[in-house]
Homo-oligomer: A and B are copies of this chain.
Amino acid sequence: MNIYDISKQAGVSIATVSRVLNGSPNVKPATRKKVMDIIDRSGYVPNAFARGLGLDTMNSIGIICADSSDLYLAKAVYYIENDLRKNGYNCILICSGYEHKGKEDALSRLLNQRVDAVIMAGSTYVEAEPKDNRYIMNAASQTPVFLLNADLDCPNVYCTVCDDFKAARSATCALLNSGITDILYLYNSRSYSGMKKLSGYQAAYHMHKIPLNADMMQFFDGSHENIDGVCRFLCGLKEQGLVFHAVLASDDMLAVGAVKYGKMNHIAIPEELSVIGYNNSLLTVCSDPEITSVDNKLEAMCSQLVRTCIGVLNSESMPPKVVYQGELIHKGTTRLTDQQSKSDQHKGGHF
């Protein structure tokens, strides 16, 4: 079944069928009805490939993320797919993994597919070495690129980020204000955003004029699901004599590990150990007590990212960078008041 078959059966030319199909106003109602009847009866659907060839688009957008089963990225993909679909776009999903090669492959795959845009979700896509971001810039010269939680200043690249520096600083300040000065910063990623969080932690100490201790910034080098490993890692630190009364984690999963560590060692939470996670994910409510966490407004960010994307595809002028503000959500692993953390957000504007 193609447009010729329909045109023959309806006794009109393919141009008229095409016009009916695409809702052109220049069709006599009677003709339109006649054609529509044939189309409905036959169940004809235009061939998407032919359409794509002529229009140079199949209305599809690529989404790259490192691991779509990661709690945070899974949410991001879900929000983005929903919004794009509402705007008439299909999503081609590629999980790139965390290695550079995988990222480049994913991007080139999508460009070969001639997607209308590429969305890269996750801070892992912008790296410290400028040359490692070259491949994104090259892609952007062909197709608009939209980054979620990563920042890259380049034409045709649009960033939607959460200010992780401020959020981490606020969280740290909240702990410092409550009188805890031995805060262990626990992280598992050295990505752009990972480094921003670390800087935020450090900035809070500077603000409070408390010297930093390198041992209190610990990198956990393990799988994103190895909660038990995090727990053992902290036990190891304790055995080495490291003393800390709070853990600020760059990810909720690390925070869950910290809570487990506390329980295993009979350390009361939050009385003797405060814990703050990051992402305010489902994990925070699985834990007992529930984990205080930084909410980084993922849904709002995704919604904004798609809005920007659609705008760009419609040749509207769009901001190359939109910054959201994280918010500390107090739950059961801290004994902080909202007042304290809020006052800190207003300080430190000099950073």
A residues in contact (CB < 8 Å) with B: 45, 47-50, 52-53, 56, 58, 60, 63, 67-69, 71, 74-75, 77-79, 81-82, 85, 90-95, 109, 111-114, 225, 227-228, 256, 259-260, 263, 282-283, 285-288
Contact = CB atoms under 8 A, between A and B. Distances in A.
Contacts of A282: 71, 225, 227, 283
A90 B91 contact: no
Given A90-B92, A90-B113, A288 B285 contact: no
14 contacts: A45-B111, A47-B114, A49-B56, A49-B58, A50-B53, A58-B113, A68-B81, A71-B74, A78-B95, A82-B95, A85-B95, A91-B94, A225-B282, A283-B286
A76 to B, nearest CB: 8
Nearest to A59: B113
Contact of A286 (B63, B81, B286): B286
A21 to B, nearest CB: 12
Given A82-B95, A91-B92, A114 B48 contact: yes
A79 B114 CA distance: 25
A90 B287 CA distance: 37
B82 A78 contact: no
Shortest 8 CB-CB contacts between residues of A and residues of B: A69-B78, A49-B52, A74-B74, A286-B286, A49-B53, A93-B93, A69-B74, A69-B75
Contacts of A94: 81, 85, 90-91
A58 B113 CA distance: 8
Given A91-B92, A225-B285, A256-B286, 14 more contacts: A45-B112, A49-B52, A63-B93, A69-B75, A71-B74, A81-B93, A81-B94, A81-B95, A85-B95, A90-B94, A90-B109, A225-B282, A228-B285, A286-B287
Nearest to A96: B85
A275 B45 CA distance: 51
A315 B82 CA distance: 34
Contacts of A60: 92, 113
A203 to B, nearest CB: 30
A114 B67 CA distance: 26
Contacts of A285: 225, 227-228
B287 A113 contact: no
Contact of A92 (B71, B74, B78, B92): B92
A286 B50 CA distance: 50
A286 B227 CA distance: 7
A206 B339 CA distance: 59
A225 B75 CA distance: 12
A60 B85 CA distance: 17
Given A68-B81, A225-B282, A48 B92 contact: no
Contacts of A85: 94-95
Nearest to A287: B286
Contacts of A112: 45, 48
Contacts of A256: 286
A4 to B, nearest CB: 15
A56 to B, nearest CB: 7
A93 B95 contact: no
A68 B58 contact: no
A180 B49 CA distance: 60
* Chain B CB within 10 A, most for which of A60, A286, A288: A286
